[in-house]
Amino acid sequence: MTNMMPVLNGILPTHLQEKGEEESLDIRNGISQRSESGAIPHKKKVCILSIDGGGMRGIIPGRALAYLEEALQRKGNNKDARIADYFDIAAGTSIGGILATMLFTAGRDGKPLFTGEETWRLIAEKGKQIFRIPKTQQAWAKLRGMVTPRYSTKYLEALLKQYLVRDNSPLTLRDTLKPMLIPCYNLETAGSFLFSRTWALIDEKWNFNLWEICRATSAVPSFFKPAKMRSINGVTSCTAVDGGLIMNNPTAAAITHVLHNKVEFPGVEGTRDMLVLSLGTGQFDQKYDYGQVRHWGAFQWATPVVKIVLDGISDMVDHTVSMSFGDWHKQYLRVQVSGLPGKALKEMDDGRMSNVKKLVKLADEMLDSPCTEHLPYGGRSEIEHTSNRDRLDWFAEQLILEHQARGSRTAFSDTPLPDSPSQLESPAPPVPL
């Protein structure tokens, strides 16, 4: 039944609801079937979390995640609820990849290593140590970043190993609680590289240490030296720099992974079968008029171009994803701070407490600011009488409903993974966004 009407909020179209009770539901083949009781089974939605990169500005999505987790606990009457309990897949770039790893890696007790609140607090407390120049080298600090990497990697690596190495054995992609996607750029192949838990489970040559993955996705050129790493079995090599260079907003990558992964996410026909939360780290939205820029050369354009690229890549992904949801646009939520001050570009590596307090204030103001969304051919507009906090409350309710509908089966699918990544896709043509 290829022309079946869309399923909205788990409710089947009227003409399919009128089928006889002898039918059951086969979502994967698009065939409506009822259970013996006559009840229409729940049409599952894949719950996707995506977190942008942005250095110290990771405090902004961290605060949003802390609020969401608190809402899940409050609305679900479960003080032990964690972000990873309610999402089926997480994608993160740079600091977003570190946040996702913190939230979706299992601790000794089988629960996530960190709560939502603990993620942003760790950034706030350790940022000054990560972005630290030794006193002996501060005399020529301004040259660092121009002729050498500005910061040593030993502080960041020590912090990552503190949490991601257990009993002298590094945790790997296979130790995460749910599927994960974390990008970097591989200098050896001159192309993007996506660390995928799904592929790691299928073949050891795609399995990497988590602390090295976090190091790779956050290896911002001029801040840190590239990350040289190999897969667990030594077969795959990667010389990585910051994933934000090519995929600062990884939402589209997560959606594409779900659409084409028919083993872990069977029955997903399009974006109508998804709940997506995308968290940004702020954008500049800096405007220029013609008279201001018409005589600019390379020197004057240097900083504005960086801002335009950072904003443009993430915003274009947001726009494209928003358009792909169409009538189901409410199931996609992008939470972002707009109008960052120009100096915020330099504050990506400012771990001082004064900057931390500024970022916390920005995050809290973001939660109470009007929620915005892209409209077809209408640009971005505010949703009347609705704040980001309101939308996160609504999103938490949808996650709880989805979680309750699955009962004891919290995973989207229990189907074993195949022996080869090529077998993940169905033989049918790819489903467009």
Catalytic site residues? 242
408 and 414 Cβ atoms separated by less than 8 Å: no
Angle at 89 between CA 110 and CA 386, to 5 degrees: 110
**Any idea how long the chain is?**
433
For 157-302, strand residue ranges (E) read 165-166, 169-170, 180-186, 191-196, 227-230, 237-241, 274-279
Instruction: Find the farthest-apart pair of alpha carbons in the chain and give their distance in angstroms, rounded.
Output: 80
95 and 65 Cβ atoms separated by less than 8 Å: no
Q: Give the separation between CA 119 and CA 275, rounded to whole angstroms.
A: 23
Strand 237-241 and strand 180-186: the pairing is: antiparallel
**Torsion angle in degrees (nearest 10) through CA of 26, 32, 34, 40:** 100
Written as one string, the DSSP assignment of 340-370 is --GGGGGGGG--SHHHHHHHHHHHHHHHHSE
Element (H, E) at 319: helix 298-325
> How many separate helices (H) and strands (E) can be counted in the chain?
14, 12
Structure tokens at 82: 């964690």
